[in-house]
Amino acid sequence: MKKAVLITGAAGFLGSHLCDYFLLKNYKVIGIDNLITGNLKNLSHLESNNNFEFRKIDITYDFKIDESLDFILHFASPASPIDYLKIPLETLRVGSLGTENILKIALKNNARILIASTSEVYGDPLEHPQNEEYCGNVDPVGPRGVYDEAKRFQEALTTAYHTYHGLDIRIARIFNTYGSRMRINDGRAIPAFMGQVLRGESLTVFGDGSQTRSFCYINDMIEGIYKLLHSKYSKPMNLGNPEEITLINFAKEIIALGGKNNKILFKPLPVNDPIKRKPDITKAINILNWEPKVSRKKGLENTLNYFRKLSLAELNKKEHNFTLHI
């Protein structure tokens, strides 16, 4: 009998790729999403798959899953600043109320649950690179605090369920990830830069571009998440690519990749925007025998090819309409 997995945020970037991966691994997959930031287009290729079922559910309200579950992957949350700055209350609720509802379902089913935490729990880090023992430098009332603190609370609540109820948990601290099915207008560096390249616009770099990021390709990340789920490690674990690059150099890479002579436009650095971001993945290497394999060049080529296939209307869509879903 196939094992069953519930994936929250299933119509999102990471969630939809997780659905694909678990179906390939011969699981029965139930995907749920409230579609605030997710898009059913990301799951349209699964409509005829008898091992997949999608349900539109807002997990911040009480809901039931009648089927028996073996695993739960909790990936429901806005994940880009442009999103969680516009829907801050929804971001806090899904990290708190939504997480507890999912934890209750895991407890009822005696299911192992993996939660998607984030490198943002480290805030604007004073230690570099960031390992799992670093407690972070977060401003709880800053503009980014709604996401950072929602994820920190999510980790604390999940750990409490493990400590007091014996729930089998995994915590993935996910660093910057990219690939197909990212929303072109979600405001993060890669879709923003690629959209600007394809539209022939100047690339927007905030500050002087000296801030760093470390980008992990989606295929590598999904494999890391799968390995963590099936490990015996219940404490937080960093998953990401430690290859670090400044955003100014990254913008130049994407301009070169696009084959156009786009200019770079500098704008003021947003409040609390992290200056450095690089994961220490020693634990993932030693415990999971995992580390990223796809080069940044190959991953960016694949991602740009995905964005090239968007319609003109999709490519030029600058704003996501949250009011359709709230």
Beta strands in 119-256 (DSSP E): 169-174, 177-178, 203-206, 212-214, 216-217, 236-239, 244-246
49 residue type, one letter: N
Active site (annotated) includes residue 147: yes
Catalytic-role residue among 21, 122, 147, 178? 147
| 3-state SS, residue 116 | strand
Nearest-angstrom CA–CA distance, 110 and 263: 54
Q: Give the phi and the psi of residue 100 in degrees, each rounded to 5.
A: -65, -40
Q: Give the phi and the psi of residue 65 in degrees, each rounded to 5.
A: -125, 110
Q: Give the phi and the psi of residue 71 in degrees, each rounded to 5.
A: -140, 150
| 3-state SS, residue 315 | helix
Residues labelled catalytic: 147
